[in-house]
Copies of this chain bind each other. A is one copy, B any other.
């Protein structure tokens, strides 16, 4: 048995999310089917994170096991050939130890949330960013973001469907970077609750619009109550950008 670690990029627009679903296409299914055809055996693919419908990845990590002998580069090339025309690309493929696990070995996850602040509808980035028709105060957003750093009970920023045992998470980075009409929010943590990044960004957008004071982020956090959530940002702007592992 050989285990391969994959680095995967995907455009989430046509998918119901990472995870296999009965009612529509998923990234997991696309990769598993391509791998099964290439390797001639049933293949299961595990990812560092299970992104929601419409959420994208530029650097998702995943792994698969096979009883066949194949060079990592050949597997990558074959997967990319088979995955076409689905917007899923394998950027890297490496043989790893049997106990390396894309999800359980992962020690940090990184997301970028892209906002475009302009009147006109998006063309190239329709479905790839959250357009807000008003201008945003990025400095106020950054001030609000700082309140969420560290270890907290993130119940306010957690989906009702979240299956995590605990609402406690340690947020290591929540940074707002503006460049012209574009604002990116970068979030890093060992792990996130379901909808946590989108919920935090939705509230930061209220701060950026002046509807919330930066301190309202702290008030919302301390409420530990989903009804204190201001807004959940749409999946469009969310990108899983990187997963870290001890050996990296």
Additional A-B contact list (18), CB under 8 Å, known A9-B120, A11-B124, A89-B121: A9-B124, A10-B123, A11-B123, A56-B124, A76-B119, A76-B120, A77-B119, A80-B119, A80-B121, A83-B121, A87-B124, A87-B126, A88-B123, A89-B120, A89-B123, A90-B120, A91-B118, A124-B128
Q: Taking beta carbons and an 8 Å cutoff, which residues of A are in contact with B? A: 9-11, 56, 76-77, 80, 83-84, 87-91, 118-124, 126, 128
B-chain residues with CB within 8 Å of residue A83 when the two chains form the complex: 121
- Nearest 10 pairs between A and B by C-beta? A89-B120, A87-B123, A11-B123, A89-B123, A11-B124, A9-B123, A91-B120, A89-B121, A80-B120, A80-B121
Identical subunits present: 2
Instruction: Determine the residue in chain B with the shortest Cβ distance to A90.
Output: B120
- A11 CA to B118 CA in the complex, in Å? 17
Closest to A56 in B: B124
* Chain B hits for A124, CB < 8 A: 9, 11, 56, 87, 128
CB-defined contacts of A118 to chain B, threshold 8 Å: 91
A140 to chain B, nearest CB (A): 26
* Complex Cα gap A76–B121 (Å): 11
